[in-house]
Structure 1
Amino acid sequence: MEAIRSRRSIRRYGPTDVPDALVRELIDAARHAPSAHNSQPWAFIVVRDGETRERLSRTHRYSRFLRGAPVVIVVLGDERLSPSHLVEDCSAAVENMLIAANALGLGACWVAVYSATAAGREEYVRDLLSIPGHMRVIAMVGVGYPGEAPPPKAVRPLDEITHLERWRPIGPDSAGKS
């Protein structure tokens, strides 16, 4: 649980390269994620080349941090294997990767590429990395040794987000709300 609770989105990285063995550990964690009907629709492109990482950082405004990441892992989903649950399946794989990175002493942050309203992002990455048409570009994950230490994040209290048996107001602030 500590790897989950202490995980932070790390967008600044130190200069030390990430060994291949640790990158493989991250992908191994990702491939153990649950998927609809055990379809395992994911595939991963590991990008270390500086120019390619720079170009990936231009995908959209939230991807700029990728230029400083020693490794970018591009997360793909095969539409033929999971046509209805691709985003959910691949997002679960990304979360496993993020938790594993934290547990291994690495920092990581993901940025979505797939978007129903921003097809240009996906095409940009697809063209850059020669990704075939049946593969959707779901996300990119920047990985490196942390170059920052964000403070603990505030999380909503369990009593505020947990409902028993059915939706109903919980807690002292919910009087009269439904």
Structure 2
Amino acid sequence: MEAIFERRSIRKYLEKPIPKDIILDLLKAGMYAPTACNQRPWEFLVIDNPEILLKITGVHPYSQMLKEAPVCIAVCCNKDRTNTIGDPFWEQDCAAATENILLEAQDNGLGAVWLGVYPKESLINDLKKVLNIPENIIPFSLISLGYPAEKPKDIEKFDISRVYHNDWRHRY
């Protein structure tokens, strides 16, 4: 629970590279996320080239922290892996993978922030161009990563008034 309670969106980073073994741990955490019908539709793009990170900031309006982030992971969906069921659960699968990466980052002393991409068509198309992403791949999210240079204050997020019991007429 510690990683869950302490995780915050971190947008300022120290000038310190992230070791490859930690990046692999993050990717492993993402691949261990729950997935509908075991489709595992995800693909991951690790971006550590400062020029490419800067290009992303030109197309994603909320990605300015990538100018100082040492690494960004793009969580993507491979549409060729989503045909085993009629409903598109890939969004949930990629969201679970994104959250697992965020929690593993926290557990490794990293700061991270989830940058939404899907379902904004303009962001999807612009990132596909910047990152040379093939047609069958849909960028779902970006995760900015680095050693934190800030510590946002702790806030209480648990709110029992949002919990119901058995039906909507009864509070828990």
Q: TM-score, normalised by structure 2?
A: 0.93
1:13–1:68 CA contact under 8 A, matched in 2:
yes
Deviation per residue, 1:24-63 (Å, 9 max, x gap): 1000000000011011111111111111000112222211
1:46–1:71 CA contact under 8 A, matched in 2:
yes
Structure 1 unpaired stretches of 5+: 172-178
AA aligned to 2:104 is: A
Question: 1:109 aligns to what?
Answer: 113
> SS state of the match for residue 122, structure 2?
helix
Question: 1:69, 1:99 → 2: CA distance?
Answer: 18
* Matched residue count: 168
Cα displacement (A) at 1:162:
1.5
AA aligned to 2:92 is: E
Question: 1:53 aligns to what?
Answer: 53
- For 1:16-95, what aligned pairs fall within 5 Å after superposition? 16-82=16-82, 84-95=88-99
> SS state of the match for residue 74, structure 2?
strand
AA aligned to 2:61 is: R
Question: 2:60, 2:19 → 1: CA distance?
Answer: 28
1:109–1:143 CA contact under 8 A, matched in 2:
yes
Greater CA drift, 41-50 or 80-89: 80-89
Deviation per residue, 1:132-172 (Å, 9 max, x gap): 11110101100110010001123142x2121111112538x
> SS state of the match for residue 140, structure 2?
strand
Structure (1 or 2) with the greater strand fraction: 2
Question: 1:139 aligns to what?
Answer: 141
> SS state of the match for residue 21, structure 2?
helix
2:165–2:171 CA contact under 8 A, matched in 1:
no
Greater CA drift, 59-68 or 22-31: 59-68
AA aligned to 1:96 is: N
**Greater Rg, structure 1 or structure 2?**
1
Structure 2 unpaired stretches of 5+: none
Deviation per residue, 1:85-144 (Å, 9 max, x gap): 1211101000000000000101111101112xx312111111111111111010110011
Question: 1:112, 1:6 → 2: CA distance?
Answer: 21
Question: 2:6 aligns to what?
Answer: 6
> SS state of the match for residue 4, structure 1?
helix
AA aligned to 2:171 is: I
Greater CA drift, 58-67 or 24-33: 58-67
Question: 1:166 aligns to what?
Answer: 167
AA aligned to 2:161 is: E
Question: 2:2, 2:82 → 1: CA distance?
Answer: 32
Question: 1:102, 1:168 → 2: CA distance?
Answer: 37
